[in-house]
Amino acid sequence: MKAFCRTLAALACWAALDAGAANIEVIVKTAGGQPVEDAALILEPASGNVPKLKTHANIEQRDREFVPYLTIVQKGTAVDFPNRDKIKHHVYSFSPAKTFEIKLYAGKPAQPIVFDKTGEIAIGCNIHDWMEAHVLVVDTPWFAKTGANGVAHIANVPAGAYRLRLWHPRQKAEAEIKRIELTNMPQKRMELALDVAPRAAHAKPPADAGY
Amino acid sequence: MHWLKLERRIAIVFVGLVMLMMLLMLLLVQRSGEQIVLAEAQRQLAAGRMSFQILVDQNRRQLELAASVLASDFSFREAIATQDRPTMLSVLNNHGSRIGARVMMAVAPDGRIMANTQQPRQSGAAFPFAALLRAAEDNGHSSDFVRIADGRIYQVVVVPILAPVRIAWIVMGFPVDNAWAHELSQTSGLEVTLVDAASGSLLASSLPESRYSALTQSAVSLRDTPQQVMLNGHHYHSVVVPLGQQARGILLHSVEKSEAVFRKLHQTLLVTAGAGILLFIMGSLWLARRIAGPANTLAMAAQRIAAGDYSLPIAMRSQDEIGQLAASFENMRLGIAAREQKITRLAYEDSLTGLPNRVRIEDRLNSLDSTTEATIVVLDLDRFAAINDALGHPVGDQLLQQVGARLEQQLPPGQMLARLWGDEFAFLLQGMDKPTVQAFAQTLLVALRAPIEVRGQRLDVSASLGIAFRPADGVDINALLQRAELAMYEAKRRQCGFMLAEEVGPGPSPEDLSLIGEMRDALERREFILHYQPKLDLASGRVTGAEALLRWQHPERGLVPPGRFIPFAERTGFIREITPWLLAEVVAQAATWRREGRAMVLSANLSARDLLDPGLVALVRDQIEQHGLPPEALCLEITESALMEDPALAQAHLTELARFGVKLSIDDYGAGQASLAYLKSLPVHELKIDQSFVRSLASAPKDAAIVQSTIALGHALGLAVVAEGIETAADLAWLRNAGCDIGQGYFIARPMAVSAFADWESGKRAATPEPGKVAVAVKV
């Protein structure tokens, strides 16, 4: 069933490409010109017609950190929280979009967490205060997050009108939603600005400190 | 008292110096103490300030920690996240009471209060300290001292609640009150006060409440640098520490606390210094006494010496300068004592005989109690003047020495013999009754009877003694000597060896004594005058002569009777000065009257002393020759007793005078002891019967018989016989019948001055037809 679904999505994409698709590349920088990592770039089609592409994601706990820091998922995606550390973790979220708690566990929890509501979800570990992860649940399959160089790519976006939303877990102000028209152009480049606060000073102690 | 001064002075100098030193030391200690106290106070203030700040910070961190612990509580976070207010309040209360936080709040990220334990019902109000939130946003946490709604001040911390992003703030506040201040005060060692930064009003303090107002008044002027401040008379060092936006901490260090240590040190030092000074005073006094003590001993020794007490030797064995001084003092003492002894000897000793002198005997007598019995015996050699004149002073001195030695042999033990002057000696006898004294006087006379040999010449000496008893005859030495001398003169006159003063009488009265004193002046002032009493030839009734009688016309007393002063003149020897004047006057008067045709024999009296005077003959001759008077016109009357003083010498002088031609008359015949044989040998021309016989002619038949026989005797010896004191016609007639040659007396005529006599004589001559010869008489 899962395989079937995946195939179906791939087919849909393909069809979109056929109808004419665009690649979009955005570089996000702070006002000071520094590239911003982990900024989410979301394209929401004005038509509201969103295909479901991906339905699963992993947020690992590795080396007492959530990896990745930011995960963008389409509404309804099930996310697993596999624990790769030797110690246990207690993953929780009080965010209204998805409140959950996976009490002390090792290995992969039996059930993934399904994010079925759009919104921003901050995830922490109750026993490791510095561990922090964010899940942005969107209702579109076209999204990407910037790397360390502040660049994010979204490929094969069918031409059409979109709302371009930029978000970051530590953004100082909500970015303005841009309306863009994607044509059958091979590449669209954009440069966006977003001010981001530094990560909270919850320093992670060394591993042998017993945390 | 001077030694004491010296002693004190030494002590004062020493002690003063030590006290000065101590004072300087104390001042130094005080000064450096003050500096040290100041430095110590500042150091303690700085240290206290540091510990205060550390404590405040620590409190803050503990609060933050507590807040953080709460903030990470899963259930609490869940309650926050789910907006579960009752649970939030419950957790806040629970945690607040756990750590003693009075204020517990949860504040939403937008600054609205979600829960407040102080006001459980309130929610949605804005958190009043936005700055705290901003600071916490920047730093992850924040704290301050703020006033919360209840008006009290709190140390407040704000920490975020992360899940893991901030979902709220947790605000915790600890009350800042006096307990807080006391706790900090105890740990920091400073007085801790919190005041409102704006108004300066006191918020909390560890100070006693009584100093609040003083501190509030000073608070405005206090700075964040150390300074000094007085609170109700208590001395503090202060520093101001800012505590957040609304409060200031005032830290006070009590200088007195630091001073207390030094005060104790000071007291110890004072006590030590006091004890030291006391010890030093005692030491100085001891030392000063060691110096001043011997000086004092010497001073007292010097005072003793000054007072004439040389008996105590000055014994001081110390070898130092004082000891040397003492040795010098001792030498001085011995020297002075020896010299004084010598002086005393010289003062009290007669240098010729080695006997005590008059001063010594005076001292001895004066030392006696006024009632103590004693006897003074005065001894005077007879005719010593003649021996001295004839043989020279050296012989006289040797004679005196030998007489002194001989008398000293007779001196009973414990009695005193002294040489008064010239040939006069005196005994001071004690404890001897009258008969014993008389017997002693007799032994003295006997002792002198043996001849004394001087330079090969054997000299016969005799002496006359006068004896006066104390206190019957007088108490003081002068009175006793005078009485004894009067007795001695009387004995000499009577040739009876010795006489007692009580037998002689008291001697001259003070008036007499003053007369005696005035006699010398009288001669110079020509107060002596001569009166003449006629001598009447009884057979012819003519005036044949006159007796010159000495009178004293005293300027104040008037005419002084001869009996008042002539005996004294004789006794004192002054008569020897009067006689030359008298002789000159008489001779001159005789010559004058002779020139006037009054050829009379003038008589002058001679005393015993005059008679014994070796110059007598020469004197008479000189006067007669000077005035060209026939020697037979002068008659010299000598009393029988005067002759008997030294019959041999008298005879020698009289013989010479007779040879020269002067007439001689024996006066007062019948009163003395002259033998007829002696009378017979004298070359005299006239015999004057003693007045006492003439006066009693009528009343005493025996006297008449004596007069009768004397007239016969005189005639038998070829002498003219003169009767004096004829006062009645009957006497005159009787005497004429008895064959008396010459008469004299008031009945015939009183003694008269020269002019009166001349008138009287002229008248008498006119009444008496036949010119006659001269009769003579002299009475002085």
Q: For residue A197, give the DSSP letter.
A: P
pTM: 0.48
Considering only alpha carbons, which residue of chain B is nearest residue A198? B138
A132 touches chain B (CB under 8 A): yes
The number of angstroms, rounded, from the C-alpha of A152 to the middle of its chain's C-alpha atoms is 12
Asked if omega into A158 is within 30° of 0 (cis), the reply is no
Give the mean pLDDT of B219-235. Answer: 83
CATH classification code of A2-198: 2.60.40.420
Peptide bond into B394 cis (omega under 30): no
The nearest CA of chain B is from the CA of A114 a distance in Å of 20
Residue B319 pLDDT grade (very low, low, confident, very high; cuts 50, 70, 90): confident
- What confidence tier does A18 reach under pLDDT thresholds 50, 70, 90? very low
CA gyration radius, chain B: 69
Residues of B in contact with A125 (CB under 8 A): 164
Q: How far is B164 from chain A (nearest CA, A)?
A: 5
Beta carbons of B140 and A131 less than 8 Å apart: no
Given a contact cutoff of 8 angstroms between Cβ atoms, the answer to whether A207 and A64 are in contact is yes
Nearest-neighbour CA in chain B from A108: distance (Å): 22
| pLDDT tens digits for range B735-745 | 999 999 999 99
3-class SS at B610? helix
Peptide bond into B471 cis (omega under 30): yes
Q: Which amino acid is at A127?
A: I
- pLDDT band for B329, please (50, 70, 90 cuts): confident
Q: Can you tell me the distance from the alpha carbon of B272 to that of B266, in angstroms, rounded to the nearest whole number?
A: 10
Residues of chain A with C-beta less than 8 angstroms from the C-beta of B163: 92-94, 122, 124
Determine which of B114, B165, B166 to mutate to test the interface with A (most A C-beta atoms within 10 Å). Answer: B165
- State yes or no: pLDDT of B149 exceeds 80: no
Contact B198, B189 (CB under 8 A): no
Helices (H), B72-211: 74-81, 85-99, 130-139, 178-188
For chain A, the domains span 2-198
State mean pLDDT over B500-510.
76
Report pLDDT for B469: 92
Give me the pLDDT at residue B136, please: 87
**CB-based contact, A100 to chain B, within 8 Å:** no
Chain A interface test: which of B72, B74, B167 (most A C-beta within 10 Å):
B74
Percentage of the residues of chain B whose pLDDT score is greater than 70: 97
Instruction: Check B164 against A132: CB less than 8 A apart.
Output: yes
Q: Indicate yes or no: CB of A94 within 8 angstroms of CB of B78.
A: yes
Cβ pairs A/B, distance under 8 A? 39
Which residues of B sit within 8 Å Cβ distance of A? 72, 74, 77-78, 80-82, 140, 160, 162-167
Q: Minimal Cα–Cα distance from A11 to chain B, Å?
A: 39
Contacts of residue B82 in chain A, CB cutoff 8 Å?
Answer: 94, 99
Contacting residues of A for B134, CB less than 8 Å apart:
none
User: Rounded CA gap, B175 and B177, in Å?
Assistant: 6
Q: A71-75, B308-312, B333-337: which has the highest mean pLDDT?
A: A71-75
Residue in chain B closest to A100 (alpha carbons) equals B78
Q: Residue A211 pLDDT > 60, yes or no? A: no
Cβ contact B77–A94 (<8 Å): yes
Question: Is the CB of residue B780 less than 8 Å from the CB of residue B566?
Answer: yes
Nearest CA in chain B to A169: B165
| Residue carrying the six token digits 């003074």 | B376
Q: Using a CB-CB distance cutoff of 8 angstroms, which residues of chain A are in contact with residue B74?
A: 92, 126
Residue by residue, DSSP assigns B504-515 as H-S-S-HHHHHH
The answer on pLDDT for B662 being more than 90 is yes
Alpha carbon of B125: minimum distance to chain A alpha carbons (Å): 23
Q: Which two tokens stand for residue A200?
A: 């909270």
Question: Which residue of chain B is at minimal alpha-carbon distance from A170?
Answer: B165
Which of A94, A104, A134 to probe the B interface (max B CBs under 10 A)? Answer: A94
Q: How confident is the model at residue A3 (pLDDT cuts 50, 70, 90)?
A: very low
CB contact under 8 A, B163 and A124: yes
**Cβ contact A129–B72 (<8 Å):** yes
Average pLDDT over residues B368-384: 88
For residue B167, give the nearest of A94, A125, A132 by CB distance.
Answer: A94
